[in-house]
Structure 1
């Protein structure tokens, strides 16, 4: 067994050693996580290090992506932006973030995980600095829309980070690793909301610039850490066709629809929850700081629970966990709808918190399903005479590509959530129509999960 690590000055070959873990500028040419001996001697340590610094960068990316879910709470009457206009300000960065997830996934294969993490982290400085410059009374709504849209670059970080970490871990640990990576990144949403609450409670609503300015040194630090500690995998850089291959696979679009139901809900609700509280319960939330006290709670719990979804999927199977999770999300949406009709704030918040929690569980379980699909395909190929090593390599690269596509389509679900809220409040002055749409959507996802992955059928893939 050998590992090969290249840097800008030299190439080192080592026998039975963890030398790769101490290189400073890295490209790893030989990566075999399914080899137990390799994993125990060198692989696990390297993968953990990359996971830690991937989480840091992705966490800040999520904070910048969701920055405007907090900044809209600062936009008082002097900014002349109505509730419908605020929903649009949060929908635009969601939309751009979903579009960027596809090229960000490609970028990992082309430039390397470490290299792209550094660049994408530094790119976060653009929307952060712009927000710090323009946020003052008198700024035009068009300028606010443009600057909010640019914050979407933070949404692309998730896809590249997940595709990169997926390549580092063996199949048996993917649910846990992807859950930790995604959950740590998702925590960027409640953290930026807590930071906004702190500024609202201390400096007041007249100081929105403080929030983006706080993140500038953190962005620089994340980029430096990634440059110092992360690695590129040659196997990923050599793969150019995986995205095209999986785009023709029906499972790609099934998983993308399921991810709309889980992650689309999480990010859409994260962006909109504070505004929904202010619009639907105006008497109870007559100041931004009151809404901010509750805004962070759902995203926090949804982020923390995501690794649990991955662990449950590792143990019981991703499809089974996803099925029952959509049933729970449908129940949560029904509770929110009833609470809205009855004008019950306590029941409304409880229902929404449940939606956040189960969207987090579903995020972890659906992402576990993706590599499991291609792992099952690889077993079938090997049984038919294919080379095991080639089948495993194809499985890994296609799973990484599908993670990028599902991440992009799923993030677009956040746009649909904000548009649904905007239209519902514009036409009926409440969110009931939106809540009913969410309930129906979760029911459809439940049926789709059962029909494709759990129903007894000759074409069914086992162990997904």
Structure 2
């Protein structure tokens, strides 16, 4: 972007620029926003989506690699020279999810500390490390499982990118356009899961270790492109501030941990099923359909990604808690269908039914995607009601939004651990019982409990969505510029705190 004196971003109408740092940013100033702010914000959004998308892809790249790293039907080395068992494959896809969950909170606060442009450059270049390590590892079948787990763990840095990307973009947009911007940013990231699974399946079709390394050969240049794009076209905002106090305050609220539990069931299920699904399709104890895993394993992640905005929209119309209960009910049905489909060890059908298995998982992906949007919508509604109960004045509502921002950051990090737990439970079930049926029953039980917790906490008499006021509505007395912005079609905390947008 031009930094000449004629650039409106330097004028007194809303922005002053010092190199790549914008010293004053006023997106709520209509004249500034329409004159130059929107153009700058969109350019930053574009390259944020690019970097975040590649980050998501690197985060889950092991979910497609492990399909070719399994043992053959006789237990010997497979096409790539590895002889991993199904439970070992599931561990390899689980560990990056766990590391990514740990990184979400520090990545959230990195943007205010270092600048959104600067951190995007650094985090994009950091993706080269897991890609390079992966390229080396897949060409050395003699590596121990411990080394493979350590190398796979480094891919977790891609999971942290989402938090910093959402945080950065939240600072650029005015309240009325924040929902569209963050929704697009989130969708771009989530789609990275489906893209790597489809693209990766195509490039490793040859089946050798060298072919597996081609994924790294593709994503290393893409990471460099993202970093160069951020270098040339993104900006840092000095007005971006981290609010550690609001996160600490939110951590003391019981509602934060209730929603974190529910978010494990929605986003955690989405990312966990996305990474585990290809390995389950390949599992010799089930259907041993490596062909389907490579050709169609990406569909689950695609369905879940596309369904997420629908969950937010339905939550706006029907109430986030109502939609969340319905999502958990649908996930319960999907789990029951999956149990039935695996045949004798599921103790429902006499014979395995692959069509029912695949369809049941598509329902799980659809429902978890919808639940992602609806649970995210609930968090600001919960804290908005708390603000009303504390007087409803501008100060109370501002404090409520700050706590909601902190809560979203916590829920985002805790929920992402579901991506670690889901594959691990599958792995332990398969190892101990030779079937994933016990794991599916665990998930079914959790979905029922989560639906009950949602109803008890938010829908029964006196619950948030049973209250006369619409959940998430700000009082009329609160000025428009103080009300919570819309995120992914739902009410969400203002973008003045770093943790406001760190959710997926």
Query: Does the alignment pair 1:368 with 2:377?
Result: yes
Match of 1:209 in 2: 213
3-state SS, counterpart of residue 461 of structure 2: coil
**Structure 1 44/379 Cα, relative in aligned 2: closer, same or farther at 3 Å?**
farther
Give, in whole Å, the separation in 2 of the partners of 1:6 and 1:167. 23
Larger deviation, residues 291-300 vs 303-312: 303-312
Give ranges in structure 1 of 5+ residues lacking alignment. Answer: none
The counterpart of 1:320, out of the listed 319, 322, 326, is 322
Deviation at 1:428, TM superposition (A): 1.4
Give, in whole Å, the separation in 2 of the partners of 1:459 and 1:196. 44
Match of 1:440 in 2: 445
Q: TM-score, normalised by structure 1?
A: 0.87
Deviation at 1:385, TM superposition (A): 4.0
When the two structures are aligned, how many residues end up with a matched partner?
449
Deviation at 1:233, TM superposition (A): 3.8
Match of 1:85 in 2: 88
Match of 2:307 in 1: 305
3-state SS, counterpart of residue 364 of structure 1: helix
Match of 2:226 in 1: 222
Give, in whole Å, the separation in 2 of the partners of 1:410 and 1:11. 38
**Structure 1 153/111 Cα, relative in aligned 2: closer, same or farther at 3 Å?**
same
**Structure 1 368/32 Cα, relative in aligned 2: closer, same or farther at 3 Å?**
farther
Give, in whole Å, the separation in 2 of the partners of 1:457 and 1:349. 40
Match of 2:60 in 1: 66
1:169-225 CA-partner distances (Å, limit 9, x unpaired): 455555544332222101111111112211233565652111112100100111222
1:40-94 CA-partner distances (Å, limit 9, x unpaired): 5555444443333222111111111101111111214132322221111111111
Give, in whole Å, the separation in 1 of the partners of 2:412 and 2:182. 13
Give, in whole Å, the separation in 1 of the partners of 2:191 and 2:92. 21
**Structure 1 261/274 Cα, relative in aligned 2: closer, same or farther at 3 Å?**
same
- What does 1:214-293 align with in structure 2 at a 5 Å threshold? 214-237=218-241, 239-279=243-283, 284-285=288-289, 288-293=290-295
Match of 1:110 in 2: 113
3-state SS, counterpart of residue 193 of structure 2: helix
**Structure 1 183/200 Cα, relative in aligned 2: closer, same or farther at 3 Å?**
same
1:423-442 CA-partner distances (Å, limit 9, x unpaired): 11111111111111111111
**Structure 1 72/113 Cα, relative in aligned 2: closer, same or farther at 3 Å?**
same
Give, in whole Å, the separation in 2 of the partners of 1:238 and 1:96. 22
CA contact (8 A) 2:105 2:163 kept: yes
1:314-353 CA-partner distances (Å, limit 9, x unpaired): 3333223222222222221121122123311000000101
Match of 1:14 in 2: 12
Give, in whole Å, the separation in 1 of the partners of 2:389 and 2:45. 30
Match of 2:340 in 1: 338
1:362-388 CA-partner distances (Å, limit 9, x unpaired): 11222233334444445556x554448
Deviation at 1:232, TM superposition (A): 3.4
Query: Does the alignment pair 1:457 with 2:459?
Result: no
CA contact (8 A) 1:183 1:305 kept: no
1:117-157 CA-partner distances (Å, limit 9, x unpaired): 22211111111111112222323322211110111111111
Give ranges in structure 2 of 5+ residues lacking alignment. Answer: 71-76, 473-504
Deviation at 1:25, TM superposition (A): 1.7
Larger deviation, residues 73-82 vs 228-237: 228-237
Deviation at 1:116, TM superposition (A): 2.0
CA contact (8 A) 2:53 2:189 kept: yes
Q: Which has the higher helix share?
A: 1
CA contact (8 A) 2:138 2:209 kept: no
CA contact (8 A) 1:108 1:163 kept: yes
3-state SS, counterpart of residue 12 of structure 2: strand
The counterpart of 1:26, out of the listed 13, 17, 21, is 21
**Structure 1 459/400 Cα, relative in aligned 2: closer, same or farther at 3 Å?**
closer
CA contact (8 A) 1:332 1:354 kept: yes
Match of 1:132 in 2: 135
Give, in whole Å, the separation in 1 of the partners of 2:464 and 2:90. 43
**Structure 1 447/104 Cα, relative in aligned 2: closer, same or farther at 3 Å?**
same
The counterpart of 1:408, out of the listed 401, 409, 413, is 413
Give, in whole Å, the separation in 1 of the partners of 2:65 and 2:199. 11
Give, in whole Å, the separation in 1 of the partners of 2:130 and 2:9. 38
RMSD: 3.1
